[in-house]
Structure 1
Amino acid sequence: MTTYVALLRGINLGGHKKVPMADLRDLLTGLGHGDVRTLLQSGNAVFTSEERNTARLVTGLERAIAERFGFEVPCLALSADDLRAVAGRNPFPPTSVDPSRMFVTFLSGPVDPERLAHVDPHGYPPDEYRVGERELFLRCPDGMGRSKLAEVLGRTDLGLTATVRNWNTVTKLLAMTDA
């Protein structure tokens, strides 16, 4: 049995693509997953599964969401071990900035460096980013809403499914995988 974290992209924002968390829990349980828990209203779920193939797990989840809710939602899934590894790769010390102003963009695969070649990681002070294995780490001391770097990165086509979580959410999800 593997513990997973599912990250749904772009749900429950401004009244669009509504996916109530109780319904998401029911959907995951109906797919045969166990110990299903959700965090916040933004599409974060922790659950256990017999499935070992993450791509199959994501495909099944995306298909089930489309069938139940009538719209497509890109999803990512990481094992608890993968999420711990992401946290361990964070190049920014958590004490260097308010954790609500530090972000991880989770990606469906490794980013092609050419797609980010135009974005200087140090060219938008005090904001900065670093590329991980299948994630981008972003530090915005003044907040993401004021960040020119976040704006540029948000407009950059990485050719991958991507979804952003702040460091508080990442650490809460980690704690849920240990519970």
Structure 2
Amino acid sequence: MTTRYAALLRGINVGGHKKVPMAQLRALLTELGHSDVQTYLQSGNAAFTSASGAEDALAEELGAAIEKRFGFGVDCLVRGGPYLRAVADACPFPAAELEAKQLHVTYLSAPVTADRFAGLDQAAFLPEEFRLGDRALYLYAPEGLGRSKLAEALSRPALLSGTTATTRNWNTVVKLVELTRD
């Protein structure tokens, strides 16, 4: 049995650093034995089909292959299509009423609990808000991620320590769901 997955690479092709051309990423995933490989944008989103059912093992394999091929490490998350659909469906904000730049999902390598964020005064950041989901953090930032003070606060190492985190805007969240449909 095969499954459609998305690989989410963190921090590549940003400001000319950690360059991973998408054609080379597609070739690398194919060399690793995956099929039906597609990429989306230049920011490290790839969809592929694999017989493996172990997301963490797939992410580790891809991260090691990228380091070997390109000479630098990259944090990778791999998530199956059903999980990506569930994250999109569970969005606590009215996605259909918002601009894509206003809504983001930070995918996390492990679950985090609300107590981790207890010291964060959410009222100080209004109208920006966040909610936790299943290995995901939803962020509503009316002025966009680049101007978000809450996003900056949430990215503090103490809040997400021990987890790999990578953020996508709502357009990308929706596209990843489409790309990983069986």
- TM bucket (normalised to shorter chain) is over 0.9
Residues 1:95 and 1:120: Cα distance change in structure 2 (over 3 Å)? farther
Q: Deviations over 1:42-78 (max 9, x none)?
A: 0000000010111111111111011000000000011
Q: Secondary structure at the match of 1:82?
A: helix
Question: Which amino acid is the alignment partner of residue 109 of structure 1?
Answer: A
Q: Which residues in structure 2 correspond to 1:31-50 (within 5 Å)?
A: 31-50=32-51
Q: Which residues in structure 2 correspond to 1:80-159 (within 5 Å)?
A: 80-157=81-158, 158-159=160-161
Q: Is the 8 A contact 2:4 2:181 kept in 1?
A: no
- C-alpha distance in structure 1 between counterparts of 2:51 and 2:113, whole Å: 32
Report the Cα offset of residue 95 of structure 1: 2.9
Q: Secondary structure at the match of 1:76?
A: strand
Report the Cα offset of residue 119 of structure 1: 1.7
- C-alpha distance in structure 1 between counterparts of 2:181 and 2:113, whole Å: 32
Q: What TM-score, normalized by structure 2, do the two folds share?
A: 0.94
Q: What TM-score, normalized by structure 1, do the two folds share?
A: 0.95
Q: Is the 8 A contact 1:35 1:48 kept in 2?
A: yes
- C-alpha distance in structure 1 between counterparts of 2:65 and 2:157, whole Å: 29
2:175 is equivalent to residue 172 of structure 1: yes
2:80 is equivalent to residue 64 of structure 1: no
- C-alpha distance in structure 2 between counterparts of 1:122 and 1:32, whole Å: 48
The list of structure 1 runs, each at least 4 consecutive aligned residues, that deviate by more than 2 angstroms after superposition, is: 112-115, 120-123
Report the Cα offset of residue 156 of structure 1: 4.2
Report the Cα offset of residue 118 of structure 1: 1.5
Q: Secondary structure at the match of 1:145?
A: helix
Q: Any stretches of 5+ residues in structure 2 without a counterpart?
A: none
- C-alpha distance in structure 2 between counterparts of 1:122 and 1:88, whole Å: 26
Match of 1:13 in 2: 14
- C-alpha distance in structure 2 between counterparts of 1:58 and 1:2, whole Å: 14
- C-alpha distance in structure 1 between counterparts of 2:123 and 2:85, whole Å: 26
Question: Which amino acid is the alignment partner of residue 170 of structure 1?
Answer: V
Report the Cα offset of residue 172 of structure 1: 1.1
Q: CA RMSD in A?
A: 1.3
Match of 1:161 in 2: 164
